[in-house]
Amino acid sequence: MNNDPLADIRHYSPTMTISQVLKFCEKKGVQITRAMIQNYIRAGVLPPPVNKRLYTHKHLAALVTIDRLKTVFEVSQIRAELEPFLDAEGLPLEIYFELMQNAKSLTAELKNCDALQIMACASELKRNVN
């Protein structure tokens, strides 16, 4: 069984309202609220919705990544690490899946280090992009 909330993302509508995003997150076990989404947009760690109301798969990828990282890091730290990868709609799915795959392989021997490993992967990818 795959515990990645976005493993089947391509089966979902490419755009969602905030209510649909919240239902998706609840179904997938991602701890996100409306206020958190709005705070992440204000903090610059999540791009605003498309046409002021629609969220894309890239927004969901950013939200899931933020959810995993926030247990260990401040929002400003998360923004600094993810910023090079974010585009106008969020975190590209290929970057998300690469981060999650690398984090999975790195955490094979360490339990509960998801956030640290994702951040390490983000730093490594950032070095490769620059």
CA distance 40 to 128: 26
Give the 3-state secondary structure of residue 40.
Answer: helix
Nearest to 6 by CA among 44, 62, 72, 55: 62
User: 84: which 2 tokens?
Assistant: 């090079």
Mean pLDDT of the residues in the chain? 85
pLDDT band, residue 102 (cuts 50/70/90)? confident
pTM of the model: 0.77
